[in-house]
Amino acid sequence: MSKMDRTQIVLTIMLTGLAAFMLLPIVFIFMQAFKPLSELFLYPPRFYVMNPTLQNFTQLLMTVDAAVVPAVRYIFNSVVVSVVAVAVVVLVSTLASYALSKHQFRGRNMLLDLTIIALMFAPQAVLIPRYLIIQRLNLIDTYIAHILPFVAAPVSVFLLKQFIDQAPNELLDAARIDGANEWAIVFRVIMPICRPAVSTVALLTFQMVWNNMEPSIYFIENEALRTLPFFLGTLTSGLANNVAGQGAAAAASLLVFVPNLIFFLFQQSKVIQTMAHSGIK
């Protein structure tokens, strides 16, 4: 602070206050999950918890134990689907971005335009085509049905392409002279350069896949293949409609949110670099 001028000090204070304000929803989720029933319905409501309790989680576990399929199975499904989806989306998006950025071929500009146009479509608008594709490929009740709808990620392609555009063609030509093929260029040159963007794509994909209940609702009929967010959502939908179930519903919301928070904390430095649009230094 002693090395800052007055303008920098004012901006630091303002940004610190803004950051604290942005943290309020996260703090509220944690506070809500540990509130006893008396505080959940306290009027006027209070932001913080006065008498924290684990009763909400106990009630949630008792409800989970009564389920037909063990909760561990839903957790396993969510972890497998999320990890595989992140890997596939990063790989496909990187390859597509590299081809669109550094290769000239017929139809390239049309594909770029289609990628930009795809950004305008809401997920609900493509739900029926997705279902028809998965049905005709006989992928109903498979893990692939959870992953396939997320593979085509126009946001990821667009983000990665902006980073790959910064890679000088001379660097790629030098790699080819040294004997590197296109696969080696992608994995040993392009991906290290785009590491911040790759981390951001991985984070966005994880959040989207982990929280998404659409595949479990529309593409999965076998209960043992559904994911944790769907299970907790259906489990607490009935609880949230009665007074006694509000605590369990709050605890379930926290359990779904925590993996997203942990993943973000590990990737936050790369995400900040992406937002600063860093490339080759």
Binned at pLDDT 50, 70 and 90, residue 2 comes out as low
281 inside domain: no
Phi, psi dihedrals of residue 69, rounded to the nearest 5°: -95, 135
Residues contacting residue 188 through CB under 8 Å, at least 6 positions apart: 175, 180
39 domain-assigned: no
Task: Give CA–CA dist 191/198, Å, rounded.
Answer: 7
Q: Is 147 part of any domain?
A: yes
Is pLDDT at 193 greater than 60 in this prediction? Answer: yes
Q: pLDDT class for 83, splitting at 50, 70, 90?
A: very high
Confidence of residue 281 (pLDDT cuts 50, 70, 90): very low
Task: Residue 181: give the domain boundaries.
Answer: 54-275
Q: Residue 142 pLDDT > 70, yes or no?
A: yes
Q: CA 166, CA 238: separation in Å to the nearest integer?
A: 52
- The full length of the chain comes to 281
CATH number at residue 147: 1.10.3720.10
Arithmetic mean of pLDDT over the chain: 83
Give the whole-angstrom CA distance, residue 58 versus residue 56.
Answer: 5
pLDDT of residue 232: 78
Instruction: Say if 41 falls within a structural domain.
Output: no
Separation CA 26–CA 264 (nearest Å): 13
Percentage of the chain modeled with pLDDT above 70: 90
Is 136 inside any structural domain? yes
- Is residue 38 situated within a structural domain? no
> What per-residue string of b and e applies to 53-78 under the rule 16 or more CB within 10 Å gives b?
beebbebbeebbeeeeeebebbeebb
Mean pLDDT of 44-66: 79
pLDDT in tens, 216-270: 888 888 888 888 888 877 776 655 556 556 777 788 888 888 888 888 887 776 6
User: Which one of 28-32, 64-68, 70-74, 268-272 scores highest in mean pLDDT?
Assistant: 28-32
| Number of domains observed in the structure of the chain | 1
Mean pLDDT of 190-196: 85
Residue appearing with tokens 């990665």: 160
User: Is 15 contained in some domain?
Assistant: no
pLDDT digit string (tens) for 95-107? 999 998 888 888 8
